[in-house]
Structure 1
């Protein structure tokens, strides 16, 4: 029953993106770009490391989200949907994990589709509004993560229970708040040093990364693991909140650096 519901959600999402953002006829370049991102995602997926929780491999450390999000950032939602779906199917072939669970397929598709939809809907929004949205979301995320860490009494990894000390809580909370402050200050500094269009692009990318991590990593993935392996949602979420302190800055800065590099490459290809 769960698989049927999830499959229906994937189909509905596909109908939506292909109806309102159809493929561009004769645009071979975008299909080539989509294929490149699918290959890059497959390579990153192969290099990912799985860490067992409660005896099941359920915490992934890798960078496969970066090419998926960049694909959504450059391509329209229909192409992004195709990239996410094909990346998941190829990943299942390269790294078999038993019977495929469509929840993870939906998650992979959303990683690529969310940035594409965000960029489409923010095209007519001013740079200031995008900046305020990003700063507000980052502030809420940082304070929320800090409050959540403060309420944690223990962390369970596999069969090992680690009791959280006050000093460890203060350290993790400090990291969250410092990262939050750095992001907000960086956005404000960039606004003064670069033109509005590039500042808007960087703010949009941050918003894409934060939304993907909140929706897919912190909300959906723990839900799928609870449904599949009966790993408690709260405990799975706890591990991922700590993981995000390190992953978010990496995805934001490495991802945006790659975006700037790829824009230069695409401009040269179009000139040729």
Structure 2
């Protein structure tokens, strides 16, 4: 067990986001020494600033990213600076500090054409600017930080920020009927569960490499919305529709189900079934 990584100081970059907030709260609750850095505290494009910020850290977690998927289609260069160059800067600085580097990535690095869960070593084939910049970020992390954990996630929701369940619950309160796409399949994942998984990976001194941090099971956005509406206590009718009826600048993966073999090989249990985890999360997320 890497005792230093488990008990030494943590630095969380992207501290004001849904995941960063949950991770900091979790670490603080167990008595860990944790510093949260927001965008105003650290410019990820400033390599020297990152080097100074990570001195003495045992674990650095990068939750920062350009996540405006559609906006990235017209601003790919700007997204690249954050998602690729920025990630490499942070990885290099963490390595210089002797810290384990945890980098949060995405299902968008895949093409979305699969019919079985994507393995951790499946070929990357992003179809959007966002996906390309995040894939480049993964390559940068691998090159700059040998002691890395790349954790891909998808369909995130949480209490600390806007997310799909909050939007659907609000719409259900306003409308008698909702039409939601049924041809995009994935794994709704609570940010608190992902935060706990990251901590468990570090505590287990998991081998450097790539892991998938998503809930188990699978559903569509339509199926998830049905569950949300029932949980929220509304009588709104939810009807299935197709992605063609909701054109967006960036293509959405039709299949975003990620496999968890690397977690099991490291002796770390995957997150539980998405529906069970939603039931646990809903009171807080929809509060």
Do they superpose with TM above 0.5? no
Say which structure is richer in strand: 2
- Between 1 and 2, higher relative CO (CA 8 Å, sep ≥ 6) is seen in 2
Q: TM-score, normalised by structure 2?
A: 0.26
Q: TM-score, normalised by structure 1?
A: 0.27
